Structure 1
């Protein structure tokens, strides 16, 4: 296989990013890694119960837009990562090492999400051309595949948001009064 078409490093980076980074030794985050069961369960449920997508066209539009948004976020993340490298220099221990890891992890998640959006869009296009009922519902394998892919894209989106926010708060030194990570009791 040509390296140009090899998406395995992206998927491997996504899998490696599903770790529990609270310890010095990174271990797989069992809860995060078990989330792969969500699209499998959704696929089986849709396929075995003869589920249908009543309006596949808006889903196609949504995943296409989301793919673009994730790629755009990736480019912004890459710029931020370069800026951190400039601040700290190339060698030695970085004062932003945790933030670098968060950005590296999030980059792999964003690219995996973009890839899945593209595959989802492709499955919707194929399904809408070969597996559409007379009433315009997408059914069968293609409906189950698209629903499963869309559910995992949602999971990835949920992974990415807290990581992006955490990196933003840490890198920019957001004060405790505005940081969502600081719990402050209100005065009465």
Structure 2
């Protein structure tokens, strides 16, 4: 009965997605995984230094919009993934293994970030009821937790953007002169 509330597979998929697929076997992307320590550092610094959030209501609006946007992107992504599966089934050998992997990884990241946005919003709401100063600033544990969650969501958002762009470029066979991954200089016309 409680399986309905089990979000661990989403987080496990997120963690597994932090890999480097450039090798014959997938390896942990150490830099990406280490960058996830940044939110822990934000939490510790905010807690030790008495950091405050001056406009917690604006942050609630921001994480709410971001959660909606990420869920919308997930919906589009799952449709694209289904289309790629259909193309592969029609054509025999798979042409899009790398792209499918990128989309699968990105799906887990988007859902993880959406969950963290919801947790961040809940943290802000609770904190605004228990940890607000007389000037309306959020302080203490609730401010530190909200800042850490927000920074984690920002990092995941940054992870997702290049993956989405790469999948788009590869699947749609974007011309080299418009492909941001193509490092060749465009020839000059005289």
- Pick the TM interval, shorter chain: over 0.9
Alignment of 1:77-92 (within 5 A): 77-89=77-89
* Cα distance in 2, alignment partners of residues 6 and 98 from structure 1: 29
Equivalent-residue separation in structure 2 for 1:90 and 1:140 (angstroms): 57
Q: CA deviation at 1:184?
A: 2.2
Tell me the equivalent position of 1:50: 50
Matches of 1:142 and 1:43 in 2, distance apart?
Answer: 10
Describe the SS at the equivalent of 1:89: helix
Give runs of aligned pairs for residues 35-184 of structure 1, distance below 5 A.
35-89=35-89, 93-184=93-184
1:30-66 deviation per Cα after TM superposition (whole angstroms, max 9, x unaligned): 0001122110000000000000001100000000000
C-alpha separation in 1, matches of 2:137 and 2:90: 54
Distance in structure 2 (CA, Å) of the matches to 1:136 and 1:90: 59
**Equivalent residues, number:** 188
Distance 1:187 1:113, change over 3 A: same
Is there any run of 5+ residues in structure 2 with no aligned partner, and where? none
Root mean square deviation, CA, Å: 1.4
Q: TM-score by structure 2 length? A: 0.96
Query: Displacement of 1:94 after TM fit?
Result: 1.3
Secondary structure at the aligned position of 2:154 is classed as: helix
Q: Deviations over 1:60-84 (max 9, x none)?
A: 0000000000000000000000000
> Runs of 5+ in structure 1 lacking a partner?
none
| Deviating 4+ runs (over 4 angstroms) | 90-93
Distance 2:120 2:109 in 1: 16
Pair 1:16 & 2:16 matched: yes
TM-score (norm 1): 0.97
